[in-house]
A and B are shown apart, each in its own frame.
Chain A
Amino acid sequence: AQSVTQLGSHVSVSEGALVLLRCNYSSSVPPYLFWYVQYPNQGLQLLLKYTTGATLVKGINGFEAEFKKSETSFHLTKPSAHMSDAAEYFCAVSDTGTASKLTFGTGTRLQVTL
């Protein structure tokens, strides 16, 4: 069975500071990994995804994530936080099985302060 662990349910950073949101996964098969963002009162929007190939993945809004198989991690980073980045972020893993089911982490709420 797959699982996703997101360390830290709340993260607060200053505007302009580095954003680091942690995600570790477990999967019995090579996984597909995703980061989704949810702005208040909205649905989820895909930030970036790793399927195969290059392990450093770039997404929208300046975010990127690196797949590290040896550490079973897929941490999300952004060099400089902006106020508009305040949202909830979800890491998810897919088992590449027939139904493309996603298993989500519990989410990390990012607060950006002046």
Chain B
Amino acid sequence: NAGVTQTPKFRVLKTGQSMTLLCAQDMNHEYMYWYRQDPGMGLRLIHYSVGEGTTAKGEVPDGYNVSRLKKQNFLLGLESAAPSQTSVYFCASSYVLGQNNEQFFGPGTRLTVL
């Protein structure tokens, strides 16, 4: 099993450009999450999904959109990138509640917005 994979690994954008980050998991997990990691701030939840076709806002959702058209994929979109969105983005997935809530993380995408 590949676990959780993220595409791309690195990306540089100019202010105002758009892009989509792809997360895929092969563990048949119901829940998927997008976090951003910034120095001194830990990980903050952007959006999450509790199942195919459903999404919800996390702690810092502004400027991002997500979609979960297939159970195994969770896409994070930036419609108009801003320098404040320079960060490392992590995707995670977990089983439904009752499996001790362990989240499995992807390797991350390092995004720089100029």
Contact = CB atoms under 8 A, between A and B. Distances in A.
Task: Please indicate whether A and B come from the same complex rather than being unrelated chains.
Answer: yes
Interface in A91-109: 94, 96-102, 104-107
B101 A96 contact: yes
Using C-beta atoms within 8 Å of the partner chain, give the interface range for chain A.
20 to 34
Nearest to A90: B42
Contact of A49 (B33, B44, B102, B108): B102
Contacts of B105: 36, 43-45
A113 to B, nearest CB: 22
Interface in B33-68: 33, 40-45, 48, 50, 56, 58
B102 A46 contact: yes
Considering residues A43, A46, A106, which has the most beta carbons from chain B within 10 angstroms of its beta carbon? A43
A43 B97 contact: no
Using C-beta atoms within 8 Å of the partner chain, give the interface range for chain B.
20 to 34
Nearest to B110: A41
A106 B104 CA distance: 19
Interface of B is mostly: strand
B83 interface: no
B31 interface: yes
Nearest to A9: B40
Contact of B97 (A45, A46, A100): A100
Interface in A1-53: 4, 9, 32, 34, 36, 41-46, 49, 51
Considering residues A9, A46, A90, A101, which has the most beta carbons from chain B within 10 angstroms of its beta carbon? A101
Interface string B83-114: 00000001010101100111111111000000
B41 A101 contact: no
Please provide the 3 A-B residue pairs with the shortest distance between their CB atoms, ordered closest to farther: A43-B105, A104-B42, A100-B101
